[in-house]
Amino acid sequence: MIAFAAMAALQDRRFVAGVQLLTADDRQCQATVRRRIESPETAIEFPGVDRAAAHARAALLRQIEPLLANGRRVKQAAYEVQHKEWSRAWVTDGRARLALVKQLATQRVSPSQADTTRLFPSVSAQVERRDATVPSPAVVRGLALAALALAGDTGEDSDGVLNSMMTDARSRSCLHRAKLNLFQCMAVGGPHDEDIFCISQHAMLEAGQCMASAAGPDAAAPSI
Protein backbone atom coordinates (compact mmCIF):
# COMPACT_ATOMS: atom_id res chain seq x y z
CA MET A 1 0.00 0.00 0.00
CA ILE A 2 2.85 2.39 0.80
CA ALA A 3 4.56 1.67 -2.53
CA PHE A 4 1.22 2.09 -4.31
CA ALA A 5 0.66 5.43 -2.54
CA ALA A 6 4.15 6.53 -3.63
CA MET A 7 3.41 5.71 -7.26
CA ALA A 8 0.17 7.68 -7.08
CA ALA A 9 1.89 10.67 -5.46
CA LEU A 10 4.42 10.72 -8.30
CA GLN A 11 1.57 11.47 -10.71
CA ASP A 12 1.16 14.94 -9.16
CA ARG A 13 3.28 17.40 -11.13
CA ARG A 14 3.43 20.09 -8.46
CA PHE A 15 4.65 17.63 -5.85
CA VAL A 16 7.27 16.22 -8.22
CA ALA A 17 8.46 19.70 -9.18
CA GLY A 18 8.66 20.76 -5.53
CA VAL A 19 10.75 17.74 -4.53
CA GLN A 20 13.03 18.12 -7.54
CA LEU A 21 13.61 21.78 -6.70
CA LEU A 22 14.55 20.95 -3.11
CA THR A 23 16.90 18.16 -4.16
CA ALA A 24 18.57 19.93 -7.08
CA ASP A 25 21.63 20.83 -4.98
CA ASP A 26 23.70 17.79 -3.97
CA ARG A 27 24.18 18.88 -0.36
CA GLN A 28 20.54 19.81 0.05
CA CYS A 29 19.57 16.54 -1.59
CA GLN A 30 21.58 14.51 0.91
CA ALA A 31 20.09 16.44 3.83
CA THR A 32 16.59 15.92 2.43
CA VAL A 33 17.15 12.20 2.02
CA ARG A 34 18.49 11.82 5.56
CA ARG A 35 15.52 13.72 6.96
CA ARG A 36 13.02 11.53 5.11
CA ILE A 37 14.75 8.40 6.38
CA GLU A 38 14.87 9.61 9.99
CA SER A 39 11.42 11.23 10.00
CA PRO A 40 9.12 10.12 7.15
CA GLU A 41 6.36 12.36 8.55
CA THR A 42 8.32 15.42 7.38
CA ALA A 43 7.22 14.56 3.84
CA ILE A 44 4.12 16.68 4.48
CA GLU A 45 6.36 19.76 4.23
CA PHE A 46 6.89 19.42 0.46
CA PRO A 47 5.13 21.85 -1.90
CA GLY A 48 1.99 20.36 -3.41
CA VAL A 49 1.79 17.67 -0.78
CA ASP A 50 -1.94 18.11 -0.14
CA ARG A 51 -2.86 17.25 -3.69
CA ALA A 52 -0.32 14.42 -3.87
CA ALA A 53 -1.69 12.95 -0.62
CA ALA A 54 -5.23 13.16 -1.97
CA HIS A 55 -4.08 11.43 -5.14
CA ALA A 56 -2.45 8.64 -3.14
CA ARG A 57 -5.45 8.20 -0.85
CA ALA A 58 -7.89 8.07 -3.78
CA ALA A 59 -5.75 5.50 -5.59
CA LEU A 60 -5.75 3.29 -2.50
CA LEU A 61 -9.50 3.58 -2.02
CA ARG A 62 -10.13 2.61 -5.64
CA GLN A 63 -8.41 -0.71 -4.89
CA ILE A 64 -10.10 -1.24 -1.52
CA GLU A 65 -13.73 -0.48 -2.37
CA PRO A 66 -14.20 -3.44 -4.78
CA LEU A 67 -12.68 -5.80 -2.18
CA LEU A 68 -15.22 -4.65 0.41
CA ALA A 69 -18.11 -4.82 -2.07
CA ASN A 70 -17.16 -8.34 -3.15
CA GLY A 71 -16.67 -9.34 0.48
CA ARG A 72 -20.24 -8.36 1.27
CA ARG A 73 -21.50 -10.35 -1.70
CA VAL A 74 -19.56 -13.45 -0.68
CA LYS A 75 -20.81 -13.10 2.90
CA GLN A 76 -24.39 -12.89 1.65
CA ALA A 77 -23.75 -15.96 -0.50
CA ALA A 78 -22.59 -17.86 2.61
CA TYR A 79 -26.04 -17.30 4.10
CA GLU A 80 -27.94 -17.98 0.87
CA VAL A 81 -26.36 -21.40 0.25
CA GLN A 82 -27.29 -22.68 3.68
CA HIS A 83 -30.53 -24.16 2.34
CA LYS A 84 -28.58 -26.28 -0.16
CA GLU A 85 -27.68 -29.75 1.01
CA TRP A 86 -24.05 -29.62 -0.21
CA SER A 87 -23.31 -26.52 1.86
CA ARG A 88 -24.33 -28.29 5.08
CA ALA A 89 -22.04 -31.23 4.40
CA TRP A 90 -18.98 -31.42 6.65
CA VAL A 91 -15.65 -30.49 5.09
CA THR A 92 -13.75 -33.78 5.06
CA ASP A 93 -10.32 -32.30 4.31
CA GLY A 94 -10.54 -29.35 6.69
CA ARG A 95 -7.01 -29.69 8.07
CA ALA A 96 -5.44 -30.00 4.62
CA ARG A 97 -7.44 -27.01 3.39
CA LEU A 98 -6.32 -24.90 6.36
CA ALA A 99 -2.71 -25.97 5.81
CA LEU A 100 -2.94 -24.87 2.18
CA VAL A 101 -4.38 -21.49 3.17
CA LYS A 102 -1.54 -20.97 5.66
CA GLN A 103 0.99 -21.89 2.99
CA LEU A 104 -0.53 -19.48 0.48
CA ALA A 105 -0.49 -16.74 3.14
CA THR A 106 3.31 -16.86 3.22
CA GLN A 107 3.79 -16.49 -0.54
CA ARG A 108 4.48 -13.13 -2.13
CA VAL A 109 2.36 -12.15 -5.10
CA SER A 110 4.11 -12.35 -8.47
CA PRO A 111 2.38 -9.78 -10.69
CA SER A 112 1.58 -10.88 -14.22
CA GLN A 113 2.00 -8.67 -17.28
CA ALA A 114 -1.73 -8.01 -17.16
CA ASP A 115 -1.39 -6.82 -13.54
CA THR A 116 1.39 -4.45 -14.56
CA THR A 117 -0.69 -3.13 -17.46
CA ARG A 118 -3.57 -2.34 -15.09
CA LEU A 119 -1.30 -0.75 -12.50
CA PHE A 120 -0.49 2.54 -14.18
CA PRO A 121 -4.06 3.63 -15.06
CA SER A 122 -5.10 2.80 -11.50
CA VAL A 123 -2.56 5.21 -9.98
CA SER A 124 -2.92 7.96 -12.58
CA ALA A 125 -6.70 8.46 -12.60
CA GLN A 126 -7.93 11.97 -11.91
CA VAL A 127 -8.77 12.92 -8.33
CA GLU A 128 -12.00 14.69 -7.46
CA ARG A 129 -11.47 17.89 -5.50
CA ARG A 130 -12.25 17.24 -1.84
CA ASP A 131 -11.71 18.97 1.46
CA ALA A 132 -8.15 18.56 2.70
CA THR A 133 -7.61 15.81 5.28
CA VAL A 134 -4.60 14.92 7.38
CA PRO A 135 -2.72 12.17 5.52
CA SER A 136 -2.61 8.78 7.26
CA PRO A 137 0.74 7.27 8.32
CA ALA A 138 0.67 4.90 5.34
CA VAL A 139 0.06 7.75 2.89
CA VAL A 140 2.73 9.90 4.54
CA ARG A 141 5.24 7.08 4.19
CA GLY A 142 4.20 6.78 0.56
CA LEU A 143 4.97 10.48 0.08
CA ALA A 144 8.36 10.05 1.74
CA LEU A 145 9.11 7.04 -0.45
CA ALA A 146 8.15 9.06 -3.54
CA ALA A 147 10.52 11.83 -2.43
CA LEU A 148 13.35 9.31 -2.00
CA ALA A 149 12.68 7.95 -5.49
CA LEU A 150 12.86 11.46 -6.96
CA ALA A 151 16.13 11.99 -5.09
CA GLY A 152 17.50 8.80 -6.65
CA ASP A 153 17.87 6.97 -3.35
CA THR A 154 15.79 3.83 -3.94
CA GLY A 155 18.39 1.55 -5.50
CA GLU A 156 19.40 -1.94 -4.39
CA ASP A 157 21.85 -0.47 -1.87
CA SER A 158 18.92 1.13 -0.04
CA ASP A 159 16.99 -2.07 0.74
CA GLY A 160 17.38 -1.71 4.51
CA VAL A 161 16.14 1.87 4.46
CA LEU A 162 13.24 1.01 2.19
CA ASN A 163 12.12 -1.92 4.31
CA SER A 164 11.85 0.43 7.29
CA MET A 165 10.15 3.12 5.22
CA MET A 166 7.56 0.68 3.84
CA THR A 167 6.29 -0.53 7.20
CA ASP A 168 3.27 0.95 8.97
CA ALA A 169 3.12 -0.93 12.28
CA ARG A 170 -0.56 -0.30 12.97
CA SER A 171 -1.73 -1.45 9.54
CA ARG A 172 0.57 -4.47 9.63
CA SER A 173 -0.82 -5.47 13.02
CA CYS A 174 -4.40 -5.09 11.79
CA LEU A 175 -3.81 -7.26 8.72
CA HIS A 176 -1.91 -9.84 10.79
CA ARG A 177 -4.88 -10.06 13.15
CA ALA A 178 -7.26 -10.54 10.21
CA LYS A 179 -5.09 -13.40 8.94
CA LEU A 180 -5.03 -15.10 12.34
CA ASN A 181 -8.81 -14.69 12.61
CA LEU A 182 -9.17 -16.38 9.22
CA PHE A 183 -7.02 -19.31 10.35
CA GLN A 184 -8.98 -19.66 13.60
CA CYS A 185 -12.32 -19.43 11.82
CA MET A 186 -11.37 -22.17 9.38
CA ALA A 187 -9.91 -24.32 12.16
CA VAL A 188 -13.21 -24.45 14.06
CA GLY A 189 -15.46 -24.47 10.99
CA GLY A 190 -17.37 -27.53 9.90
CA PRO A 191 -19.76 -27.29 6.94
CA HIS A 192 -18.81 -25.76 3.59
CA ASP A 193 -20.93 -22.65 4.12
CA GLU A 194 -18.81 -21.79 7.18
CA ASP A 195 -15.64 -21.82 5.06
CA ILE A 196 -17.31 -19.37 2.67
CA PHE A 197 -18.23 -17.17 5.63
CA CYS A 198 -14.66 -17.28 7.00
CA ILE A 199 -13.23 -16.11 3.69
CA SER A 200 -15.72 -13.27 3.32
CA GLN A 201 -15.52 -12.06 6.92
CA HIS A 202 -11.79 -12.20 7.54
CA ALA A 203 -9.89 -12.53 4.23
CA MET A 204 -12.02 -9.90 2.49
CA LEU A 205 -14.05 -7.65 4.80
CA GLU A 206 -11.76 -7.51 7.83
CA ALA A 207 -8.65 -7.13 5.66
CA GLY A 208 -10.46 -4.48 3.62
CA GLN A 209 -11.30 -2.55 6.78
CA CYS A 210 -7.64 -2.58 7.78
CA MET A 211 -6.70 -1.21 4.37
CA ALA A 212 -9.42 1.45 4.48
CA SER A 213 -8.22 2.60 7.89
CA ALA A 214 -4.66 2.76 6.53
CA ALA A 215 -5.82 4.99 3.67
CA GLY A 216 -7.21 7.45 6.21
CA PRO A 217 -9.35 7.44 9.39
CA ASP A 218 -12.28 9.08 7.61
CA ALA A 219 -12.11 6.40 4.90
CA ALA A 220 -12.70 3.51 7.30
CA ALA A 221 -15.34 1.09 6.06
CA PRO A 222 -18.70 0.74 7.83
CA SER A 223 -19.25 -2.04 10.32
CA ILE A 224 -18.93 -5.56 8.92
Residue 136 lies in a domain: yes
Residue 224 lies in a domain: no
Number of domain units in the chain: 1
Residue 108 lies in a domain: yes
pLDDT tens-digit profile, the chain (224 residues)? 998 999 999 998 988 988 888 777 777 667 766 666 667 777 787 878 888 999 899 889 988 999 999 999 999 999 999 889 888 888 888 889 999 999 999 988 888 888 888 887 877 766 665 555 788 999 999 998 888 888 876 555 555 667 777 888 899 999 999 999 999 999 998 899 999 999 999 999 999 999 999 998 665 555 55
Q: Which long-range contacts (CB under 8 A, 24 or more apart) does 18-27 make?
A: 18/46, 18/47, 18/48, 18/49, 19/46, 19/146, 19/147, 19/150, 19/151, 20/150, 21/47, 22/46, 23/147, 23/150, 23/151
Which is nearest to 190 in space by CA: 52, 89, 67?
A: 89
Could you list the residue range(s) of the whole structural domain that residue 134 is in? Answer: 2-219
Residue 204 lies in a domain: yes
